[in-house]
Amino acid sequence: MAPALQIADNHFRQVVRRIRAGRVVPFIGAGANLCGRPEELTWRPGQFDWLPNGPELSAYLARLFDYEGGNNEDLVRVSQYVTLTVGSLPLYEELRRLFDGDYPPTVLHRFLAEIPTILGGRPADRDHDHPPLYQLIVTTNYDDVLERAFHAVGEPFDLVTFSPDGARLVTASGDTTARVWDVASGQTALHLIGHDREVSSAVFSRDGSRIVTGSWDYTAAIRDALTGDVLRMLTGHAREVTSVAFSPDRARVATGSRDQTARVWSVRSGRTLLVLRGHTAAVKSVAYSPDGRFIATASNDTTAKLWNARTGQLQSTLHGHDQPIWMVGFSPDGASVITASEDQTARIWDPATDEVVAELRGHTGKVYGATFSPDGTLVITASEDRTAVVWDAATGRQLAELRGHAGAVNAAAFSADSKLIATGGDDGAARIYRRRIRTTVQELLEWARTRVTRELTREERVRYLREGAEATDAEPLEIISL
């Protein structure tokens, strides 16, 4: 064997031994996309045969966003230029558009996906009492090519990203503070101070690293979610801040105020970027669409409005409620808007047509909050009537009523996995409910038998509990009890 090949062979053997021992962590950058690509070919937008490498992606973004800094192949500099000149949202939108394609795995991605089989045999043949030491792979790429490679060979994998995990809950209080709670223990994890008057709202950023609080002291505060420290104070509203929301990319914060405006702020600098004017009464709620393109606002003037998040231009106004609207939000896919009103209803809207697609009726008091579950199939509403109600988002049918608060329920939300529901009320309590789902007719009947409070007649048992009838699961149901 030639000396160069012998050196390479020895190197590969050492790498394999270290991979087997779990001591090598492959770190994949954009250059991995060159593996297997013919040298004479280059990437071009619109084709899905291979992904761009770093310089190709940088050059494309430089042309698209009119970069004038000299070296078009420096991806870091070009990305920073785009973020500073037009904001991070257009950059993320373009990256999402480029990488949302069915790109085939390269030879490198296939090799990494096949390593567990090489070291431990195929998944079905492995000794599950002594599983092989799986590798850790780190990638900086936006694509899902590595996941596709693992799927192609039938190899299981865990994909880990940094996002809210449902382990913490943040609440706002009339005592000038907000609190972060540990859901598992029910104990306070952080006590957020710094406002001079009631804290009206508090939310996490999508990645869980920041919290923004809004207060009746006319300000909002951006905080470190681990320490609670105030990073930026947002000042500019002329009245109380009623609502706050992070943009999906965490680069901006939107606030609503009793001064009849909403404002958009830079998280990095704390400066006002946009002022949204058009409501004729206090703005009670603000929300970003999941893709960050739109902002929704709700007002005491009985309307909700949709705005272009980048320009601040008014897109449409939703008419239908006859009392002030307390809350507005989007479904997880952005295809629906939900509002909660003092007219004792919540409504689901199609923002493309501005039409109501479902009206949620059943509360006997003002509806203060309405939120979709993370999968978009359910809605939770909070009301002055001391209850929270779970609804089927598609049909508007009431599924469950949550009782227990001694006063009005001001807010309600689902955990990230939809298994928990948290509510907050005027009684000063935050309650957590666990969802239990029965998915078949037989499970529903078994549950119903445990809720019957008296002995049923034979006819009632046949009619209502189907005793003597053949049970079937042909028509699955979803009934929620809490």
Question: What is the rounded CA–CA span in Å between residue 434 and residue 422?
Answer: 9
Other Cβ atoms less than 10 A from the Cβ of 119: the count is 14
Question: End-to-end distance of the chain based on CA atoms, in angstroms?
Answer: 71
Longest dimension (CA), the chain: 91
Q: What is the DSSP annotation of 313-342?
A: -EEEEE---SS-EEEEEE-TTSS-EEEEET
Confirm if 309 and 295 have CB atoms less than 8 A apart: yes
The Cα-based distances of 333 to 294, 306, 419, 446 in angstroms read: 13, 16, 19, 35
Q: Which of 93, 138, 109 is nearest to 51 (CA)?
A: 109
The 3-class SS string of 81-120 reads: HHHHHHCHHHHHHHHHHHHCCCCCCCHHHHHHHHHHHHHH
Average pLDDT per 10 consecutive residues for the chain, totaling 482 residues: 66 74 73 79 78 86 86 86 80 73 80 76 54 63 71 60 57 83 78 91 86 94 92 95 92 96 95 96 94 95 96 96 94 94 96 94 94 91 93 89 86 81 79 65 58 63 55 33 33
pLDDT value at residue 439: 44
Alpha carbons within 13 angstroms on the beta-carbon side of residue 401 total 10
The Cα-based distances of 451 to 71, 455, 480 in angstroms read: 71, 11, 14
pLDDT value at residue 475: 33
Helix/strand/coil for 70: coil
Per the DSSP assignment, residues forming a β-bridge with 52 are none
Confirm if 359 and 347 have CB atoms less than 8 A apart: yes
- Residues near 418 by beta carbon (within 8 Å), at least 6 away in sequence: 373, 374, 375, 378, 435
pLDDT value at residue 70: 78
pLDDT value at residue 138: 74
Confirm if 430 and 171 have CB atoms less than 8 A apart: yes
Question: What is the rounded CA–CA span in Å between residue 470 and residue 393?
Answer: 31
Radius of gyration in angstroms for the set of CA atoms belonging to the chain, rounded to a whole number: 27
- Domain spans of the chain? 3-152, 168-436, 441-481
| Topology, domain 168-436 | Methylamine Dehydrogenase; Chain H (2.130.10)
pTM of this prediction? 0.58
Confirm if 234 and 220 have CB atoms less than 8 A apart: yes
